[in-house]
Amino acid sequence: CVIHAEPSMNEQSKMLLSVDLDERSYPIAIGPGLLADADALLRHISGHKVAIVTNTTVAPLYLGRLQAALASDGREVICIVLPDGEEYKNWASLMQIFDALLANKCDRKTTLVALGGGVIGDLTGYAAASYMRGIGFVQVPTTLLAQVDSSVGGKTGINHPLGKNMIGAFYQPRAVIADTSTLETLPARELSAGLAEVIKHGAIIDAAFFDWIEANMAKLMARDKGALAYAIARSCEIKADVVRQDEREGGLRAILNFGHTFGHAIEAGLGYGHWLHGEAVGCGMVMAADLSCRMGYIDQAAVERVRKLVAAAGLPVKAPDLGVARWLELMEVDKKNEGGAIKFILLKPLGSPSITSAPHELVLATLAAGVQ
């Protein structure tokens, strides 16, 4: 079962959580220095060969340490270094991974290790799901977003020129090893983007965690190790619990898309890459809170709390002006929209979710209020 972390964690604390999915269950280890912890890593690797997939930004920072830890008991370690960027989460990179695995005669017992952010994690997970019909993989997330969100839950995949994350598989890792020390080198903008998903977890599931994030945002922005470790642990617990109940997004898992209906419209409307995903989600959460208020689910004071917290995380709170028609068009193609009406994840109240459609005039009012 899921272990509850204590908010009083110190800098050296290590934590172990679990994602409970019967025979697909796996542990999440969180703490400083885990990248070089051979014991923590090797227990999840069965075969003689291990292939690390990473990118040109992360490799000079962390590949050597991970490679040494994995090779420490005589295993053969293959390193696959891809170019950095969302635009490389594609078919060509997937083939580059398969080429390296085949050239190195990797068999079904080979384990893949994803060392990097969500791009590397999604790509490597999908490679593991399809190489020889499925081999083991371990997530070693190095961005805050990947540590609190993308490395947990088993959604893997790549982008298609006609749509983001359109090709993929549900495929759970054997373990998630989140080394919190890696966050020291993360660019500030990427730290803020990860905090958006942390705020999301509090807003939709846990009002007490939302209170804690409010009280500790200054520490989180200052990269206080104890505060970050607690935020990661609580986020993973919340996400793991949702995934346990609805692994393949039959219903409940959609609540993790709070802020994402508006956010995806911003990302797609501006063209991917202008705003980071977390930036769009931050602003999208403010808009979703505004709509929740117009629906009578929360009061204006709760909307202000969300707005202030998103702003304190260094994220935008005003959306770009895409034009109302384009906004509606983009939200309608969002994948959560089934059967005509746009489905929104709203707060009812702060700390719990409601999946619902909303009257057109209220959506228009939120757009009018939320746009710069």
Closest separation in Å from C-beta 123 to ligand NAD: 8
Helix, strand, or coil (residue 272): coil
Q: Which of residues 21-60 bind ligand NAD (CB under 6 A)?
A: 55, 57-58
Active site residue 104: no
Q: Which of 174, 234, 264, 343 is catalytic?
A: 264
Q: Are the C-beta atoms of 267 and 277 separated by less than 8 Å?
A: yes
Q: How many other C-beta atoms are found inside a 10 Å radius of the C-beta of residue 245?
A: 12
Active site residue 133: yes
Query: In terms of CB distance, is 184 or 304 closer to ligand NAD?
Result: 184
- Residue 353: C-alpha distances to residues 149, 204, 233 (Å): 18, 5, 21
Query: In terms of CB distance, is 82 or 367 closer to ligand NAD?
Result: 82
Q: Which of residues 122-151 bind ligand NAD (CB under 6 A)?
A: 122, 142-143, 145-146, 149-150
- Per residue in 209-222, is it b (16+ CB within 10 Å) or e — as a string? bbebbeebbeebbe
84 is in an annotated binding site: yes
Q: Which of 14, 49, 219, 253 is catalytic?
A: 253
Site string for ligand NAD, 274-303 (x = CB under 6 A): ---x--------------------------
The candidate with the shortest Cα–Cα distance to 283, out of 274, 11, 223, is: 274
Query: In terms of CB distance, is 36 or 365 closer to ligand NAD?
Result: 36
Residues 6+ apart with CB under 8 A from 168: 122, 126, 155, 156, 157, 158
Q: How many residues bind ligand NAD, per CB under 6 A?
A: 28
Residue number of the CB atom closest to ligand NAD? 118
- Residue 326: C-alpha distances to residues 261, 262, 329, 357 (Å): 13, 12, 5, 19
184 is in an annotated binding site: yes
Active site residue 338: no
Distance CA 14, CA 81 (A): 29
The candidate with the shortest Cα–Cα distance to 31, out of 14, 9, 11, 8, is: 14
Q: Which two tokens stand for residue 371?
A: 């746009």
Active site residue 264: yes
Annotation: binding site for NAD(+): 84-89, 118-122, 142-143, 155, 164, 182-185
Contact residues for ligand NAD (CB under 6 A)?
Answer: 55, 57-58, 61, 84, 86, 89, 116-120, 122, 142-143, 145-146, 149-150, 153, 155, 165, 182, 185-186, 190, 193, 277
The annotation places the binding site for Zn(2+) at 197, 260, 277
